[in-house]
Structure 1
């Protein structure tokens, strides 16, 4: 909660901490969903859906590629969380701006990553749903 004594930097850091919590939560849930989709792609269920083998392989490869990117981003997120603790030691605006610029660059990067994941998930669900429609 914003207090009367908070300056602009304090307020930005409060919002950053909220973003950070949300990013960790979202990243964890994406990892859970990736495991779920991986399980489907390596199970016998995929062959029962009568899907195209090459399309299945392509979707699975896209998922695995995204998973590698996701793991790298989680490492960056953990590093940023640790690194930004240094803002507490700043004595001047230049130092604070250094951290805030890093935070803003990462925010753009992670929001794009989440958007890319939503697009990938939509493709995977559409593909799997087309196989499921054959059973209805």
Structure 2
């Protein structure tokens, strides 16, 4: 949700600009994790209904389900953090600002780690699906 406070102006301080950029970044993370949630639902549905009997057990399915749970947890944490960030305007010293900036960096690392692990699972899913369907092609 964009507000007037999200716009960057020439008179904004470096700290204000950092907070605004971090807020935009956080919005992007939340949107991306929401999309990943939908994508995981689709991948789990495809795997569970169509591929489970053709592929090697439930290993990938279990990893997708686990990642779905982790995605929900991180998404809830980021939504809570977004609400907490509305109090940034109350900061009146650099120490307060640094608490928010440090917390944001921590969430950034968590998001990027989650994204990396998700991509690896998704790549493994598609590799296994590709191999299965490549074997089904007539010679």
Kindly tell me: are residues 65 and 25 of structure 1, through their superposed partners in 2, closer, same or farther at Cα, counting changes over 3 Å? Answer: same
TM-score normalised by structure 2 residue count: 0.87
Q: 2:35 aligns with which of 29, 32, 40?
A: 29
1:2 alignment partner, SS class: coil
Q: Deviations over 1:72-95 (max 9, x none)?
A: 101110111011111110111111
Deviation of 1:47 after TM superposition, in Å, equals 5.0
2, 10, 16: which one aligns with 2:8:
2
Task: Supply the RMSD in Å over aligned alpha carbons.
Answer: 1.4
Runs of 4+ aligned residues of structure 1 deviating over 4 Å after TM superposition are none
Aligned partners of 1:11, 1:133: CA distance in 2, in Å?
Answer: 51
Residue 97 (str. 1) matches residue 98 (str. 2): yes
Give the secondary-structure state (helix, strand or coil) at the position aligned to 2:99. Answer: helix
Segments of 5+ residues of structure 1 without an aligned counterpart are: none
Partner of 1:85: 86
Q: TM-score, normalised by structure 1?
A: 0.89
| Match in the other structure for 1:42 | 48
TM-superposed CA distance for 1:100, in Å, is: 1.1
Counterpart CA distance in 1 for 2:35 and 2:126 is: 16
CA drift of 1:2 comes to: 3.1
Between 1 and 2, higher relative CO (CA 8 Å, sep ≥ 6) is seen in 1
Number of paired residues? 131
Aligned equivalents of 2:121, 2:110: Cα separation in 1: 16
